[in-house]
């Protein structure tokens, strides 16, 4: 009888102990599951913030407050960023738009190419100019970004700044002393800074380029380019009249060659007469244009003036005045 009771007591104790162990294991499993859930949530949050690009530099935070949990790797880890991945390109250009150099610094430390283009074929320098991200622009200049590369549009950074009348960007780029003011992408000479400045009548940009040594008579003939003054005269219809007059005056005063011929042997004076552009004609005459020069067919400016006779928008007295000026000049 005593043995039976003893066996019963031992069995009961074992049963109770087994139940407690089972409950403890279930509780531990539940706690572990919760910790994993918290860790997953935190990691997801860090990935989201990294995608946004604004706080990726703070990504080295614990994955969980739980003891012994792993820590999310720093953005500086080569395992975390493997240079120019699609995700990193998005983060980099988001940082450019946000004027956030800290994010860019972390990416560059891991081998990201500073001259990478985004999915739209834009480089970081052009994007920084368009976004007005001047801290980033300075950072890119200091870090040695290519200031003469182009986006797929063929527009180099200085031309981009000129198009947008972005004085601060123009000043920063020229101050770097790394700008090719005659840069031509492929054969797109119309996208070079001097031509862009004239097409936009951006006198500020022209002044700054001349101050930095730009030659208004630079020879672009290897690109079959129209001489700069001819190009400007032909572009008059797209420029506000007062701006155009100021532009022509600037070019003449800054020693542009007012007699430089195009591929047909025509002088700027001939181009102006061909276009019926009396304002430019008068400005060129005042600047000392040579009326005796001949084109490839042996024609002079006087011959070009003859087609203006009876022009609807040219009063007879104006026509006669032009003929008189040219005749007197030829006699001299």
The contacts of residue 86 (CB under 8 Å, 6+ apart) are: none
Q: What φ, ψ does residue 272 adopt, rounded to 5°?
A: -65, -45
Q: Are 205 and 162 in contact (CB under 8 A)?
A: yes
Q: What is the mean pLDDT of residues 2-6?
A: 46
Partners of 123 in beta bridges? 117
Q: Are 247 and 204 in contact (CB under 8 A)?
A: no
Gyration radius of the chain's alpha carbons? 36
Whether the CB-CB separation of 103 and 57 falls below 8 Å is answered with yes
pLDDT for 327 equals 85
Q: Residue 66 has what DSSP assignment?
A: S
Least Cα distance to 233 among 210, 251, 208 occurs for: 251
Give the model confidence (pLDDT) of 257-284 as tens digits: 999 999 999 999 999 999 999 999 999 9
**Spatial separation of the C-alpha atoms in residues 288 and 82, rounded to whole Å:** 63
Q: What does the pLDDT read at residue 307?
A: 82
Question: 95-110, pLDDT tens digit by residue?
Answer: 999 999 999 999 999 9
Q: Which of 291, 155, 268 is nearest to 217 (CA)?
A: 268
pLDDT > 70? residue 66: no
Residue 326 has pLDDT above 60, yes or no: yes
- What is the C-alpha to C-alpha distance for residues 81 and 168, in angstroms, rounded to an integer? 34
Which of 179, 189, 184 has its CA nearest to residue 209? 179
Mean pLDDT for all residues in the chain: 81
Domain regions of the chain by residue span = 254-332
Residues written for the chain: 332
Answer yes or no: are the C-beta atoms of 147 and 159 closer than 8 Å: no
Q: For residue 299, what are its two tokens?
A: 């024609």
Domain 254-332 sits in which CATH superfamily?
Ankyrin repeat-containing domain (1.25.40.20)
Helices (H), ranges, 80-156: 86-97, 101-109, 124-131, 134-142
Flag the least confident range among 21-25, 150-154, 184-188, 276-280.
21-25
Distance CA 249, CA 207 (A): 12
The phi and psi torsions of 238 (rounded to 5 degrees) equal: -100, 0
Show Cβ contacts of residue 167 under 8 Å, excluding neighbours closer than 6 positions. 204
Instruction: Give pLDDT, residue 330.
Output: 66
C-beta separation of 203 from 246 below 8 A: yes
Report pLDDT for 138.
Answer: 98
In this prediction, residues 223-235 reach a mean pLDDT of 97
Task: Tell me which H or E stretch contains 41.
Answer: helix 2-52
Residue 234 near residue 198, CB atoms below 8 Å = no
pLDDT exceeds cutoff 90 at 287: yes
Q: Which two tokens stand for residue 312?
A: 């609807």
Residue 179's nearest CA partner among 152, 154, 213 is: 213
162 class by beta-carbon count within 10 Å (0-12 exposed, 13-18 middle, 19+ buried): buried
127-156 average pLDDT score? 93
């Amino acid at each position: 009888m005593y043995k039976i009771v003893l066996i019963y007591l031992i069995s009961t104790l074992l049963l109770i102990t087994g139940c407690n162990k089972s409950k403890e294991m279930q509780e531990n499993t539940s706690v572990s599951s919760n910790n994993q859930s918290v860790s997953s949530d935190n990691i997801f949050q860090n990935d989201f913030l990294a995608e946004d690009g604004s706080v990726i530099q703070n990504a080295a935070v614990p994955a969980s407050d739980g003891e012994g949990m792993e820590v999310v790797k720093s953005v500086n880890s080569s395992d975390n960023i493997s240079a120019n991945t699609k995700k990193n390109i998005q983060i980099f250009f988001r940082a450019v738009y946000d004027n956030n150099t800290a994010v860019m610094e972390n990416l560059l430390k891991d081998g990201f190419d500073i001259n990478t283009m985004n999915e739209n074929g834009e480089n970081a320098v052009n994007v920084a100019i368009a976004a007005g991200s001047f801290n980033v622009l300075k950072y890119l200049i200091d870090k040695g970004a290519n200031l003469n590369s182009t986006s797929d549009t063929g527009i180099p950074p200085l031309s981009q700044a000129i198009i947008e009348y972005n004085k601060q960007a123009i000043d920063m780029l020229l101050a770097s002393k790394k700008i090719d003011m005659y840069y031509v992408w492929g054969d797109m000479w119309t996208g070079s800074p001097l031509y862009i400045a004239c097409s936009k009548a951006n006198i500020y940009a022209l002044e700054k380029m001349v101050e930095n040594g730009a030659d208004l008579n630079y020879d672009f003939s290897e690109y079959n380019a129209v001489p700069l003054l001819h190009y400007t005269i032909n572009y008059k219809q797209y420029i506000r009249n007062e701006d155009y007059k100021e532009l022509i005056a600037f070019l003449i005063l800054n020693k542009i060659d007012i007699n430089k011929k195009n591929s047909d042997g025509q002088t700027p004076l001939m181009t102006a007469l061909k276009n019926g552009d009396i304002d430019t004609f008068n400005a060129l005459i005042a600047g000392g244009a040579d009326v005796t020069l001949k084109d490839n067919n042996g024609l002079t400016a006087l011959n070009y003036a003859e087609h203006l006779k009876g022009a609807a928008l040219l009063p007879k007295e104006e026509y006669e005045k032009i003929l008189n000026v040219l005749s007197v000049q030829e006699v001299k």
